[in-house]
Amino acid sequence: MRRRSLVCVFVLLVGSFAGITPASATAATQAEGCSFPVTMTDATGTEVTIEERPARVTTTNPSAAQTMWEIGGRSQVVGLTQYASYLDGAESRTNVSASFGVNVERVVSTSPDLVIAPNASAGDVTPLRQAGVTVYHLPAATTIEDIRAKTTTIGRLTGNCEGASEANAWMDANVDAVRQVTADVEDRPTALYPLGGGYVAAGNTFVTSLIELAGAENVAARNHTQYPQLSDEVILQLDPDVLFVTENTATVAETEPYASTTAGETNSTVTVQVRNINQPAPRSVVSFAHNATAQLYPDRYDADSYVPRSAVTKTSEPTPADHTPSTDQSTTDASGPGFTAVGALAALLTLVCIQQVRRRRP
């Protein structure tokens, strides 16, 4: 959401259903200190200079695209990957995905003023620069603080400083609210996030930061980092109390070695959307934090702990419904927690995914 000005009130009123504000109108709302040209040093140690506010931005990773949507820069985005297709209006942008990573030729064909390439796109930076494209490479985000910094950087590069500040304020308010839910919990459940083939998320990862935020301990982070492949014996020794699963790994608790862990034997799972646990960006943090905490602590969590964007921004515009986690416990039982995304409405400002919390039935 953006601060309305007299110049763009009419545009916002008419364009609210499309969710797109012209770049010129957005630029008029930027705070001082967000002027161009701007020079910033990226994760490769390269000084990147942007001479004027980029009208055409291509993102090579869904977390960067999601961030652009959250900070009010969606109208600037001309290219994104297939994994950002859930964003409202993404279908009208060029899909720059390849079978693995991005297609350099497709990226170049979007004629971008700026390409935002997060850490997962490291291998694409050199060939894109060789093709004459201006690229800013972001470092890996493994903590909430990293996401805050990345959001600020993207806002500065694209002339959406105020939007970045508001997105961070909204994220921080919800992070604080969720932490209050479990502030006095001493005996926290141990958890594991299986990726398939014995691979799991371990220490120094965004996933572990999210799991800890929701009030659990990633048991794989005790002695492992990044995304190691563990043997069945090690997984059994870790013996997690709960498994974090997505729509892609919904039945993992029924397969060995996970079925023989405490989580498998008690059918204790927390179901989250894969994009929320894998994409380090503000919306992912907020959605994951509320839904996972509601499942882990149904007796403690209160839906009123959710902080809408309107509560932390200068406007009173309604918050898109996909930012509001559902905490409906009417279908839960004692077999273990879980949640389901129940709907979408593409005509709103952003894609609406009303997530309904439930316990997973055996």
Same-domain status, 62 and 123: yes
Q: Domain range for residue 123?
A: 38-142
289 part of a folded domain: yes
Question: Each residue of 54-77: pLDDT tens digit?
Answer: 999 999 999 999 999 999 999 999
Instruction: Return d(Cα 105, Cα 110) in angstroms, integer.
Output: 9
pLDDT at residue 17 in the model: 33
The dihedrals phi and psi of 78, each to the nearest 5 degrees, come to -115, -15
In contact, 154 and 163? CB cutoff 8 Å: no
Same-domain status, 284 and 216: yes
Same-domain status, 131 and 198: no
Of 303, 321, 342, which marks where a domain is finished? Answer: 303
pLDDT at residue 314 in the model: 66
* Weakest-pLDDT range from 11-25, 157-171, 201-215: 11-25
CA torsion angle for 127, 131, 132, 135 (degrees, to 10)?
A: -30
Instruction: Return d(Cα 33, Cα 17) in angstroms, integer.
Output: 30
pLDDT at residue 101 in the model: 87
pLDDT exceeds 50 at position 323? no
Q: What is the pTM of this model?
A: 0.79
Instruction: Return d(Cα 228, Cα 226) in angstroms, integer.
Output: 6
Question: Each residue of 266-284: pLDDT tens digit?
Answer: 999 999 999 999 999 999 9
pLDDT exceeds 70 at position 207? yes
Question: What's the full length of the chain, in residues?
Answer: 362
pLDDT exceeds 90 at position 230? yes
Q: Three-state SS for 82?
A: helix
Instruction: Return d(Cα 118, Cα 357) in angstroms, integer.
Output: 31
If one counts the domains in the chain, the total is 2
* Weakest-pLDDT range from 60-64, 294-298, 311-315: 311-315
Same-domain status, 138 and 188: no
The average pLDDT across 232-242 equals 98
